[in-house]
Amino acid sequence: MCDYKKTKKVLIEELQTLRSRVAELKQIEAECRKAEKALSNKTKALDAIITNLKQGIAYLDENDTIIYLNQQCADLFGLKYEDVFRKNVYDFHPPEKSEAVEALINEFKQGKQYLNMVETVGNKVLDNTFHRIQDGDGNYRGILMSAVDITVHKKAEEALIQSEEKYRSVVENIGIGISVIGPEMEILAVNRQLKEWFPDVDVSKKPICYKTYNKPPRKKICPYCPTYKTLKDGQVHESITETPAGDKIVNYRIVSSPIKDKDGKVIAAIEMTEEITERKKAEEALRESEERYKALFEGAAEGIIVADTETKEFKYANPAVCRMLGYTEEELKRMGVCDIHPKEDLEYVISEFEGQARGEKTLSPGLPCLRKDGTIVYADINAAKVLVDGKECNVGFFTDITARRKTEEELQKARDELEIRVEQRTRDLAKVNEELRKEINERQKIEEKLLIYQKQLRSLASELSLAEERLRRRIATDIHDHIGQNLAISKIKLESLAQLISSPELGKSLNDIVELIARIIESTRSLTFELSPPVLYELGFEAAMEWLVRQMREQHGLSTEFRGDGQSKPLDNNVRVLLFQAVRELLVNVAKHAQARNVTVSTQMAGDEIRVDVEDDGVGFDVSQAGSHDYKTGGFGLFSIRERLGHIGGYLNVESKRGVGTRVTLMAPIGHKEENR
């Protein structure tokens, strides 16, 4: 309806309604102003609270812009307030961190509600908390971050961890076993040392201590157990155990301390265990040693006094010195060095005592000692420095020489008399000695002549042997050149004559004669080789050895073998002959006496010498008799071989064992080196 058509009454009602509405609006406006003022006050209060907080606060809106932060936040991150406020978060992060920041913001945009992280900024450690801000419909509106400086807390925490690790290391590495025992005597924890002693302990199973630590296990609590007492009365207890461990007993020193809760109730016990088996043995040994030395001190036949080196007062005295000086032990303990020696000898005695105290000497012989009854006895005093009750002392060992001194005086008198008699006897002996010297000189001259004769005899024997060999060779040559050849010619002529004779009987006789001559020729040839084998001179020493070994095998049926080293052996003629004769005699000796099955002859060069070994597996013999004048091997005994070899600068060695065999070694120079005559 148009206003001009309205009645006055209607217009008045509408005007009143408008006035009423205006009044309501004014009231609402007043309430809004009041609320705005209250909100402003609260905002200022909240801002003041945030500003004065020790932790940093920052608000990032949905466009990644920091629309609020307090000064503490800027300070914590080392930023200027004006460089951050109303700036996009990517503007002040370095490029290398932008990717991580973007990933974090995206997580919250996608619905992540909360995140806590610790980071290091410069020398600070910050504990950062992020909260997702959203509207009533759950739409993302930004991130609220709070940051707290936990540097001091972190350092304290690290120090606490280090301290804990240090104490844990001490507990684990200490040489004492540590365990925690529960109220039912169950093992709750053990350290490394206890684990080494008892490797079978499994604390996860809470084993009972008296069943676990004893082998064989006990059925009841150990009667000496200090831990059981601690669990009962809450006090510290200690004991020494004798714990069975198989076939031996191990001693432990156990100290048990209570573990209490906040109300003072004992909830467990700490058991500290130290193995003292060896120490206890050492203490027992020390106790036995002390008792033994005390027995020695008390029972010693020599007198013993212990004197303070500074005050020279006596501290201990044994019964033997009490008897020697006539005092009781208590009397001597109230006396000193100056009280048991004559006054006129004190200066010398004190100097001797002080010299012993300084370690300059140990023995003071023949010191006069004053007995309680005033008589004098003499003693040799040996002293040693020791610590007694923390003080340096001389331990003096008194040997009573009074009787010996008297005996020595008597002996000196007898000695003087004896010297007179000795002088007379010496003159007589000098005369006899001169006569003996002359006789010894005569005997030495005779011995020198005998040695010369012996050398001459050895040389003569060598020359005789060589002469014999030369004669053998000449005879063998004559037999071969004359008798052998004549017999051969006679055999040829008789064979020719037999072909000319027609008479069968005469032809048969001539054939018999031819056969006989043939046998004589063969015997002549054998005799020639036995006297002096031509092979020795024509083919050399090793060829002669091979021939000799073969001859022994054929003649005596021995299993013989020759071994040469293949080297040239330019032997002197005399050496070659001597070695050949020696080996032949040794082989003959083996055939006659050794009862051997196998014989080996070997030769080898050793520098400027030749070595020949003759070895058999016969019965062996006593080597101590070999080489004596009565021990001969055929006509050329070991003694003769040794003498001949010695003459040319060689030697012979014999090794033999009964039931095993014999080895004879001949060593000789390749040239002839005769002894000086």
Q: Which residues pair with 378 in a beta bridge?
A: 368
pLDDT in tens, 316-332: 999 999 999 999 999 99
Question: Which of 209-218, 499-508, 621-630, 652-661 holds the top average pLDDT?
Answer: 652-661
- The Cβ-side half-sphere exposure at 1, using a 13 Å CA radius, reads 8
**Which of 371, 400, 429 finishes a domain?**
400
| Amino acid at residue number 674 | E
- Do 192 and 261 lie in one domain? The reply is yes
Residue 544 domain-assigned? yes
pLDDT at 677: 38
pLDDT confidence bin for 550, thresholds 50/70/90:
confident
Report, as an integer, the average pLDDT of 529-544: 72
- Dihedral-angle region of residue 91 (phi above 0 means left; psi in -120 to 50 means alpha; beta otherwise): alpha
Residue 408 domain-assigned? no
pLDDT at 307: 93
- Do 611 and 637 lie in one domain? The reply is yes
d(CA 560, CA 359): 80
DSSP classification of residue 674: P
Residue 656 domain-assigned? yes
- Do 231 and 247 lie in one domain? The reply is yes
- Do 97 and 212 lie in one domain? The reply is no
d(CA 491, CA 512): 11
pLDDT confidence bin for 313, thresholds 50/70/90:
very high
- Do 219 and 324 lie in one domain? The reply is no
Residue 451 domain-assigned? no
d(CA 645, CA 668): 7
Contacts of 608 (CB under 8 A, 6+ apart): 669, 670, 671
**Which of 400, 430, 463 finishes a domain?**
400
Residue 463 domain-assigned? no
Tokens of 67: 């629309």
Tokens of 639: 């003694």
pLDDT at 40: 67
DSSP classification of residue 176: S
pLDDT at 378: 93
Cβ atoms of 81 and 74 within 8 Å: the answer is yes
pLDDT in tens, 502-533: 777 777 777 777 777 777 776 666 666 566 66
- Do 595 and 631 lie in one domain? The reply is yes
We report the CATH number of the domain holding residue 563 as 3.30.565.10
Cβ atoms of 439 and 657 within 8 Å: the answer is no
- Do 188 and 309 lie in one domain? The reply is no
According to DSSP H, which parts of 174-300 are helical? 192-197, 209-212, 226-233, 277-299
pLDDT in tens, 433-456: 888 888 888 888 888 777 776 666
pLDDT in tens, 465-474: 666 666 666 6
Tokens of 174: 């200490």
Residue 676 domain-assigned? no
Least confident among 16-30, 183-197, 353-367: 16-30
Flag whether pLDDT at 630 surpasses 50. Answer: no
- Do 244 and 321 lie in one domain? The reply is no
- Average pLDDT along the chain: 81
pTM: 0.33
pLDDT confidence bin for 540, thresholds 50/70/90:
confident
pLDDT in tens, 116-153: 888 888 888 888 888 898 888 888 889 888 888 888 87
d(CA 641, CA 518): 38
CA torsion 561→565→566→567, rounded to 10°?
-140
Flag whether pLDDT at 636 surpasses 60. Answer: no
pLDDT at 370: 92
Phi, psi of 277 (to 5 degrees): -60, -50
Q: Which residues pair with 61 in a beta bridge?
A: 142
- List the domain range (segments joined by +) for residue 135: 53-155
Flag whether pLDDT at 2 surpasses 90. Answer: no
pLDDT confidence bin for 634, thresholds 50/70/90:
very low
**Which of 215, 248, 282 finishes a domain?**
282
How many structural domains does the chain have?
Answer: 5
pLDDT at 601: 92
Least confident among 164-173, 505-514, 554-563: 164-173
Phi, psi of 516 (to 5 degrees): -65, -45
- Do 634 and 555 lie in one domain? The reply is yes
pLDDT at 509: 75
Flag whether pLDDT at 196 surpasses 90. Answer: no
- Do 44 and 59 lie in one domain? The reply is no
- Do 183 and 97 lie in one domain? The reply is no
We report the CATH number of the domain holding residue 277 as 3.30.450.20
- Do 120 and 146 lie in one domain? The reply is yes
Residue 190 domain-assigned? yes
pLDDT confidence bin for 371, thresholds 50/70/90:
very high
d(CA 74, CA 119): 15
pLDDT in tens, 667-677: 989 876 554 43
Flag whether pLDDT at 90 surpasses 60. Answer: yes
